[in-house]
Amino acid sequence: MNVGLIWAQTLDGVIGADNAIPWRVPEDMAHFKATTLGHPVVMGRRTWDSLPPRFRPLSGRRNIVVTRDPRWVAEGAERAGSIAEALELAAEPLKSTAPTAAWVIGGGEIYRAALEYATTLSVTEIDSPVSGDVYAPVLGPTWKVAEDKGWQSSTSGLRYRIRRYTR
Ligand code: VY7
């Protein structure tokens, strides 16, 4: 099973502020949904909390939440005690065929722990210098840009570009 990480960041690497994404780029949300739909998604408990309740669990996807709290439960989510356990859960077939890919969707602590398992990254760069308190992981030199859709203009007025990395 391939493991991908998907995030959106400013050019400075900011991905979050006060447990939220500090910009609104609808085209990136659509890209996020199209990329992850039909695949298991792995997220940290804080990211689960950050989703507006009406969007939890993320529809059309197995939602696996990583937390050290053994008593944590939420409707529509499966709990895992570590990234490794989450990826084992994600790889086990619920339907007739095993999943080909899982997507790790955040946040900062989870991206740093999951990077060693990943072979694909989808990184949206937002050209807006907003400040924040959570950062994207630092990428080592083995990661190469495999696709770059170039700068695009959002209806929000912000410029963004979507890059896929592989190694
Ligand atoms: C997270 C939401 C947050 C706030 C309001 C609505 C990239 C993104 C993420 C995570 C963008 C989000 C949502 C959007 C997705 C909808 C449900 C509602 C869906 C990420 N590149 N971009 N993100 N939702 N990990 N990586 O906006 O979600 O998918 O069904």
Ligand 1 pocket member 55 (CB < 6 A): yes
Best residue among 28, 32, 125 to mutate for probing ligand 1's pocket (most ligand atoms within 8 Å of CB) is 32
Q: Which atom of ligand 1 is nearest to the CA of 47?
A: 1
Spacing, Cα 86 to ligand 1 middle (Å): 20
Spacing, Cα 81 to ligand 1 middle (Å): 23
The size of the chain, in residues, is 167
Tell me the pLDDT tens digit for each residue of 109-151.
999 999 999 999 999 999 999 999 999 999 999 999 999 989 9
pLDDT of 98: 76
Strands of the chain, DSSP E: 2-10, 14-16, 41-44, 63-66, 77-80, 101-104, 120-126, 134-135, 144-148, 152-153, 159-166
Quick one: three-class SS letters along 72-101? CCCCCEEEECCHHHHHHHHHCCCCCCCCCE
Q: How far is CA 65 from CA 31, 53, 99, 158, in A?
A: 21, 15, 17, 31
Q: How far is CA 81 from CA 69, 74, 103, 105, 164, in A?
A: 8, 14, 17, 16, 29
pTM of the model: 0.97
Spacing, Cα 90 to ligand 1 middle (Å): 20
Ligand 1 pocket member 98 (CB < 6 A): no
Tell me the pLDDT tens digit for each residue of 10-50.
999 999 999 999 999 999 999 999 999 999 999 999 999 99
Alpha carbons 58 and 105: distance in angstroms, whole number: 11
Q: Which atom of ligand 1 is nearest to the CA of 58?
A: 30
- Burial of 83: CB neighbours in 10 Å, binned 0-12, 13-18, 19+: buried
Spacing, Cα 29 to ligand 1 middle (Å): 5
Structure-model confidence comparison of residues 100 and 38, the more confident one? 38
pLDDT of 164: 98
SS3 content of the chain, % helix, strand, coil (to 5): 25, 30, 45
Cβ count near 88 (within 10 Å): 13
Q: Which atom of ligand 1 is nearest to the CA of 28?
A: 22
Alpha carbons 58 and 75: distance in angstroms, whole number: 11
